[in-house]
Amino acid sequence: MRNVVRFPVYDKGYICPVCDGNKCRICNWTGEYYTEEEWVNVQEHLVIQYLHDNVNHVSMLYRMLYGNMVDVKNLGTVKKGWAAMEISYGTGQLWVAWNLIDSGIETFYNKGEFKKWLA
């Protein structure tokens, strides 16, 4: 069984996931599905996928809620077999690159080092 993350359910009524609101037996011909659950289990890998796809938005919300000055920018594939991200925080920046093929990781504390490594 995969690891799950539990989230509270705020809206107990939503469009039926089976018929997409077109009315079926599952939703009692209403197009809406209701649940009595207080919590919903979401598979951990789906949470990670959401964070990956929305890293800038999540970073902005985190900064607004907690006052942290961390900004994460995904640089994508920067070199054959390597992907990187730029992490900016209140006192500086760092760049983290990881090998997409092996398990290697590189950390750079100034842009010059990072650019030199890219060349």
Residue-wise pLDDT tens digits, 32-70: 888 788 888 889 888 889 988 998 888 888 777 877 667
Q: What is the pLDDT of residue 60?
A: 82
Mean pLDDT, rounded, of the chain: 87
Q: Where are the beta strands (DSSP E) in the chain?
A: 4-8, 13-15, 32-34, 39-43, 71-79, 82-89, 92-99, 105-108
Q: What is the pLDDT of residue 1?
A: 52
Is beta strand 82-89 parallel, antiparallel or unpaired with respect to 39-43?
Answer: unpaired
Domain positions in the chain = 1-45, 54-119
Q: What is the pLDDT of residue 68?
A: 64
Q: What is the pLDDT of residue 103?
A: 81
Whole-model pTM: value is: 0.45
Does residue 77 register a pLDDT over 90?
Answer: yes
Residue-wise pLDDT tens digits, 12-28: 788 888 888 899 988 88
Percent of the chain with pLDDT over 90: 34
